[in-house]
Amino acid sequence: SQTIHQWPATLVQPVGSPLSLECTVEGTSNPNLYWYRQAAGRGLQLLFYSVGIGQISSEVPQNLSASRPQDRQFILSSKKLLLSDSGFYLCAWSPLAGGTTYNEQFFGPGTRLTVL
Amino acid sequence: AQSVAQPEDQVNVAEGNPLTVKCTYSVSGNPYLFWYVQYPNRGLQFLLKYITGDNLVKGSYGFEAEFNKSQTSFHLKKPSALVSDSALYFCAVRTSSNTGKLIFGQGTTLQVKP
């Protein structure tokens, strides 16, 4: 069966510090991968998605970046955190889309980031 | 543009009563619709989806959803609510691209009282 991991679970960082959040998926190949941010326990904002190694699409311009160095690894980074980067970060995966496949996304447990 | 609306920020229901969480959508082409649930400080859990076929879709934990094309709605329902159903519920629609991207509604908090 497939599983998705995120770490760390909780992170407190000062303004201006760097960030690296990691997401890995097990039990599948060539997944689509997604990073979301959820502010104040409400709506989800799609930040980045990836349909393959090295292929990253950004949904919202900001000081965050994403990378996919391996097929099942997705990393969210920042060189300098802002207060507004605080939130709950969720990684998700779905089977490779295309044709008539309309698969759901499967979410990781999330990382709670607090920027002080 | 494709969009999803959840008109209620919060729904309150007594345990044992039926519950409905509303969702309406706007898409070009055929809609592919999903419901997720989120418990505090957890990731989203998939409940059910509508792709095609029967308008009444059954999912996890006794939930079901009714697809209504004329009203562009996909309301989540359960015949008898449990206190443990209290959580945040999201409706989502798949975009027309092959990226598998979903557009989520703003979420509805369900509060089930004993």
Question: Is A46 within the bounds of a domain?
Answer: yes
Identify the pLDDT of residue A84. 92
Mean pLDDT of chain B: 93
pLDDT tens string, chain A, 116 residues long: the values are 889 999 999 999 999 999 999 999 999 888 999 999 998 767 899 999 998 899 999 988 789 999 999 999 999 999 999 999 999 999 999 987 655 556 789 999 999 999 99
Q: Read off the amino acid at residue A40.
A: A
Within 8 A of A103 by CB-CB distance, chain B residues are 100
Identify the pLDDT of residue A2. 86
Domain that includes residue A39, residue range: 3-111
Question: Is A58 within the bounds of a domain?
Answer: yes
Cβ-defined contact of B98 to A97 (cutoff 8 Å): yes
Q: Read off the amino acid at residue B70.
A: S
Ordered by start, the domain boundaries in chain B are 3-113
Query: In 3D, which of A47, A43, A44 has the Cα closest to residue A67?
Result: A47
Q: How far is CA B89 from the centre of its chain?
A: 6
Question: B32-59, pLDDT tens digit by residue?
Answer: 999 999 998 899 999 999 988 899 999 9
Identify the pLDDT of residue A97. 60
Sequential DSSP letters for A14-74: -TT--EEEEEEEES-SS-EEEEEEE-TTS-EEEEEEEEETTEEEESS-SSEEEEEEETTEE
Question: Which residue of B99, B106, B110 is the best one to mutate when testing the A interface, meaning the one whose CB has the most A CBs within 10 A?
Answer: B99
Query: In 3D, which of A72, A45, A101, A54 has the Cα closest to residue B102?
Result: A45
Number of structural domains found in chain A:
1
Identify the pLDDT of residue A41. 64
Within 8 A of A44 by CB-CB distance, chain B residues are 44, 90, 104
> pLDDT under 50 in chain B at which residues?
none
Share of chain B above pLDDT 90, in %: 81
Cβ-defined contact of B43 to A90 (cutoff 8 Å): yes
Question: Which residue of B104, B109, B111 is the best one to mutate when testing the A interface, meaning the one whose CB has the most A CBs within 10 A?
Answer: B104
Identify the pLDDT of residue B41. 87
Identify the pLDDT of residue B53. 87
Domain containing residue A84: CATH number: 2.60.40.10
Identify the pLDDT of residue B100. 80
* B78 in contact with chain A, both atoms CB, cutoff 8 A: no
Identify the pLDDT of residue A20. 97
3-state secondary structure B30-64: CCCEEEEEECCCCCEEEEEEECCCCCEEECHHHCE
Q: Topology of B3-113 in CATH?
A: Immunoglobulin-like (2.60.40)
Question: Is A116 within the bounds of a domain?
Answer: no
Within 8 A of A57 by CB-CB distance, chain B residues are 99
Question: Is A95 within the bounds of a domain?
Answer: yes
